[in-house]
Structure 1
Amino acid sequence: MKRRSFIQKSALTTSAISLGGTLSYANTLDSTTKAHKYNLKYAPHLGMFKHLAGEDPIDQLNFMADQGYTAFEDNGMRNRPVELQEKMAKTMKERGLEMGVFVAHDIHWKTPNLASGDKVKREEFLNDIKNSIEVAKRVNAKWMTVVPGHVDLNLRMGYQTANVVESLRQASAILEPHQITMVLEPLNFRNHPGLFLTDSPQAFEICRAVNSPSCKILFDIYHQQIQEGNLIPNMEASWSEIAYIQIGDNPGRNEPTTGEINYHNVFKWIHEKGFNGVLGMEHGNSRGNKEGELAVIEAYKKVDNFL
């Protein structure tokens, strides 16, 4: 499942999602779904448990909390109606769900923007950042995802990097007074060919150059397994700049235990590092319907059993 699919699906809410809880999911569950105490803050997204919880986002948030999850992420939060944002924020506060990332700006998947140094495109990006601050405050978000966009084939990489760093420095100056952090996400070359930011060392270098608490790394384990592998050593090398982590097994970009990544050991290592942030479950379900949703819950219980 491609990242664009997550963003597009999560943004389609204006008419498709109700603003109030209407359906009870209590009778759809069995004993395997009782609340579980996790060692890390795994964050599901809307739609992951829609067959068990119903289509309504408030019901889904309540379902997540009932299962023992303590965080939630939503790529499309920026584009949701304000009334729904407020209602979701109220539910998250009441149920003890920490808000994870949302996408802070319009991502240029096919054309260069930040890498180009174009001042108009930079201003568009900075305006998106300013507008996203209000969303972050509304839903109590500490992090927002930033993807610098496509490479500029007319410029050498050094110039592109300098252009990206300058844009991020200006964005950081906007974010710092609000204590909000943009997290830069390197994406793999197979799912997203042609993007500027692909590797964790590259993201590390950029964050060091920006030199701001408001500019850190989103380490997506799925993307980096494809892009560079050697997960734990690469996370160790860039650890001082990592503020957020996302999850997905490879191949398939589904829940842990469905691919090649030893998530039991990866999560154990993350826990031993003392990570207190959110781990976004930015992946699909390997199976459909209620059966597949229950399988996701059981997979996380299994890989989280490392103490």
Structure 2
Amino acid sequence: MKRRNFVKNTLAVSALGATASSVFAEEKNTGKHKFNLNYAPHFGMFRNSAGNDIFAELQFMADQGFTALEDNGLLGRTVEVQERLGKELQRLGMTMGVFVVDGGDNWKISLTSGKKEFIDNFVKTCKISVEAAKRVNAKWMTVVPGFYDRNLPIGIQTANVIEALRRGAEIFEPHGLIMVLEPLSDTPELFLRNSDQTYMICKAVNSPSCKILYDAYHMQRNEGQIIKNIELCWDEIAYFQIGDNPGRKEPTSGEMNYKNIFKYIYDRGYKGVLGMEHGNAKPGKEGEEALIRAYKEVDNFK
């Protein structure tokens, strides 16, 4: 064997022996890391590395190998910014993830009550969301039904939510858009809390435009058994979000085995977006670099 080939093969074997080396090897050859799944950062996550300009930060995300973006506050941006964002995402070959169908105080305004004022506001915001989605080529929009209405039986509240969501689905269906319902753990006052409850509501709405946003952080807090519950709800899940528990920071910062979770999702053939709906475990540019390393580590499951 020629010395040159021997050295080359030896280095390759050494790289396979260390996770950190293997995940960075591809970057050295291609200039950009290739993730197995479509992880979506949000603006502000890399501010220390890219600066305060959102378009510079978007470029930074793409340079790190991220192939999607989340922007919950998209509806609050001007039409001009939305249009530019759509063009930049297209240029960079990135997918737009969720934004929030936000008609005010999104948590508290409750579809559980069945009140006309809330339904009308929801329908109006859905129509606005269609136009925003077109500008950024988005497909998914987050919907939170709101708080419990303690004056009504749970069955009546559930029926009210289903009826309201059917109204939303009628708006989104002609455009091929999907509202994704997110069960949350932030407060016990929130109506939508568990994946099986959300699954049942999606089945009742019975529309391709009404599916589940499975946020693994919230579901770890509310119900656990992440992979088992993803399996049970799989046919109604259209979108995932990420956050480790406790703390709601990047994977590897808490108790959750995201390498196994991501491998399961990948092996099921999921091609959609996984929103990085969390903060950074460490401050500053060093924390941002640590976050990127963490994703390379847990995504290295093949």
Q: Provide the TM-score with structure 2 as the length reference.
A: 0.89
What SS class does the counterpart of residue 238 from structure 1 fall into?
helix
Tell me which residue corresponds to 1:65. Answer: 62
Q: Tell me if structure 1 keeps the 8 A contact 2:107–2:145.
A: no
Tell me which residue corresponds to 1:279. Answer: 274
* Unpaired stretches in structure 2, ≥5 consecutive residues: 1-27
Counterpart Cα distance in 1 of 2:46 and 2:107: 32
Structure 2 residue identity aligned to 1:195: L
Out of 249, 257, 265, the position equivalent to 2:252 is: 257
Once the two structures are TM-superposed, the CA of residue 82 in structure 1 deviates from its matched residue by 1.2
What SS class does the counterpart of residue 148 from structure 1 fall into?
coil
RMSD between superposed Cα atoms in Å:
1.5
What SS class does the counterpart of residue 305 from structure 1 fall into?
coil
Tell me which residue corresponds to 2:179. Answer: 182
Larger displacement relative to structure 2 (150-159 or 77-86): 77-86
Tell me which residue corresponds to 1:52. Answer: 49
Q: Deviations over 1:208-258 (max 9, x none)?
A: 000000000000000000000000000000000000000000000000000
Structure 2 residue identity aligned to 1:267: F
Counterpart Cα distance in 1 of 2:75 and 2:83: 12
Going from structure 1 to structure 2, the CA distance change for 1:169 and 1:109 (only over 3 Å counts) comes to closer
1:246 is aligned to 2:241 = yes
* Unpaired stretches in structure 1, ≥5 consecutive residues: 1-30
1:195 is aligned to 2:156 = no
Q: Tell me if structure 2 keeps the 8 A contact 1:108–1:150.
A: no
Q: Tell me if structure 1 keeps the 8 A contact 2:96–2:137.
A: yes
1:94 is aligned to 2:105 = no
Once the two structures are TM-superposed, the CA of residue 64 in structure 1 deviates from its matched residue by 0.6
What SS class does the counterpart of residue 99 from structure 2 fall into?
coil
Once the two structures are TM-superposed, the CA of residue 86 in structure 1 deviates from its matched residue by 1.2
Out of 288, 297, 304, the position equivalent to 2:299 is: 304
Please list, as runs of the form range in 1=range in 2, the aligned pairs for 1:1-307 lying within 5 A after superposition.
35-106=32-103, 108=105, 111=108, 113-188=110-185, 191-307=186-302
Q: Tell me if structure 1 keeps the 8 A contact 2:106–2:144.
A: no
Counterpart Cα distance in 2 of 1:108 and 1:208: 27
Counterpart Cα distance in 1 of 2:144 and 2:118: 14
Q: Tell me if structure 2 keeps the 8 A contact 1:107–1:149.
A: no
Q: Deviations over 1:144-181 (max 9, x none)?
A: 00000000000010000000000001110111000000
Q: Tell me if structure 2 keeps the 8 A contact 1:110–1:194.
A: no
Once the two structures are TM-superposed, the CA of residue 106 in structure 1 deviates from its matched residue by 2.6
Once the two structures are TM-superposed, the CA of residue 109 in structure 1 deviates from its matched residue by 5.9
Q: Tell me if structure 2 keeps the 8 A contact 1:187–1:199.
A: yes
Q: Tell me if structure 1 keeps the 8 A contact 2:280–2:288.
A: yes
What SS class does the counterpart of residue 89 from structure 1 fall into?
helix
Q: Tell me if structure 2 keeps the 8 A contact 1:249–1:255.
A: yes
Structure 1 residue identity aligned to 2:225: N
Q: Tell me if structure 1 keeps the 8 A contact 2:45–2:280.
A: yes
What SS class does the counterpart of residue 240 from structure 2 fall into?
strand
Once the two structures are TM-superposed, the CA of residue 111 in structure 1 deviates from its matched residue by 4.2
Counterpart Cα distance in 1 of 2:82 and 2:117: 29
Going from structure 1 to structure 2, the CA distance change for 1:112 and 1:56 (only over 3 Å counts) comes to closer
Once the two structures are TM-superposed, the CA of residue 112 in structure 1 deviates from its matched residue by 5.4
Once the two structures are TM-superposed, the CA of residue 123 in structure 1 deviates from its matched residue by 0.7
Counterpart Cα distance in 2 of 1:100 and 1:59: 18
Structure 2 residue identity aligned to 1:225: Q
Q: How many residue pairs are counted as aligned between the two chains? A: 275
